[in-house]
């Protein structure tokens, strides 16, 4: 999720102050990813440093409004028109955990899958309950929330499918077929030992 680009897109609609940006971000994303106000102000300062926003003087109530610059508008247009590219080889903690578990002697990878599936099923049930309450979006805020909830449901369903796939792959082999002992050959590189005098 790009807080930076999201704030720029909101500012493209008109000047806002920090708490207002936070409220607009939550309103437009269904409050599914809360952003703290400190992150908002840190991001605004970086955007200002990069010439994408400018800061106005404080108003009578002490609100400092931020305005998007021409470069900021160009950045928003570029972001909105470009596809989101998922990084190849991005670290997926669950995939790494299961891959390691499958190769570690004495670790029950099947139990890790069962534990994860229970958690994923519970998350999926909660998301589906939430999705049912968003079933008929009456306005733009409800629609935004339902779009984000749907994406989270699809991701949870994909995780459950992957767990099923991983379980089948593990079941097709004897339990200890992939256990790896530490390699006896040591890598050539590494931190040399300190020599004590």
The full set of domain ranges for the chain reads 3-81, 93-171
- Topology of domain 3-81 in CATH is Arc Repressor Mutant, subunit A (1.10.10)
The pair of structure tokens assigned to 27 is 């309103």
- What are the pLDDT digits (tens) for 144-188? 888 888 888 999 999 999 999 999 988 887 666 677 677 778 777
List of residues 6+ apart from 123 with CB closer than 8 A = 156
What is the distance between the alpha carbons of residues 64 and 36, in angstroms, rounded to a whole number?
A: 17
Claim: this prediction has a pTM higher than 0.95 = no
Under 8 Å between Cβ of 54 and 66: yes
Cα dihedral 133, 137, 138, 142 sign: positive
What is the distance between the alpha carbons of residues 121 and 15, in angstroms, rounded to a whole number?
A: 42
Residue 66, beta-bridge partner list: 16, 55
- What are the pLDDT digits (tens) for 49-107? 999 999 998 889 999 999 999 999 999 999 998 887 777 766 778 888 888 888 877 88
- What are the pLDDT digits (tens) for 25-58? 888 887 777 788 899 999 999 999 999 999 998 8
């Amino acid at each position: 999720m790009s807080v930076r680009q999201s704030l720029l897109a909101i500012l493209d609609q008109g000047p806002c102050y920090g708490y207002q940006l936070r409220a607009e971000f939550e309103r437009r994303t269904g409050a599914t990813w809360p952003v703290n106000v400190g992150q908002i102000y840190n991001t605004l300062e970086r955007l200002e440093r990069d010439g994408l926003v400018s800061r106005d003087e404080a108003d009578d109530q002490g609100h400092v409004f931020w305005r998007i610059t021409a470069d900021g508008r160009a950045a928003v247009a570029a972001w909105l028109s470009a596809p989101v590219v998922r990084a190849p080889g991005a670290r997926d903690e669950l995939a790494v955990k299961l891959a390691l578990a499958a190769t570690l002697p004495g670790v029950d990878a099947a139990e890790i899958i069962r534990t994860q599936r229970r958690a994923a099923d519970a998350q999926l049930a909660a998301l589906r309950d939430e999705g049912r309450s968003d079933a008929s979006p009456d306005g733009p805020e409800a629609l935004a929330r339902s779009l984000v909830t749907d994406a989270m449901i699809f991701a949870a369903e994909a995780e459950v499918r992957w767990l099923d796939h991983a379980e089948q792959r593990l079941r097709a082999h004897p339990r200890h077929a992939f256990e790896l002992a530490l390699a006896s050959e040591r890598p050539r590189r590494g931190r040399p030992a300190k020599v004590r005098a």
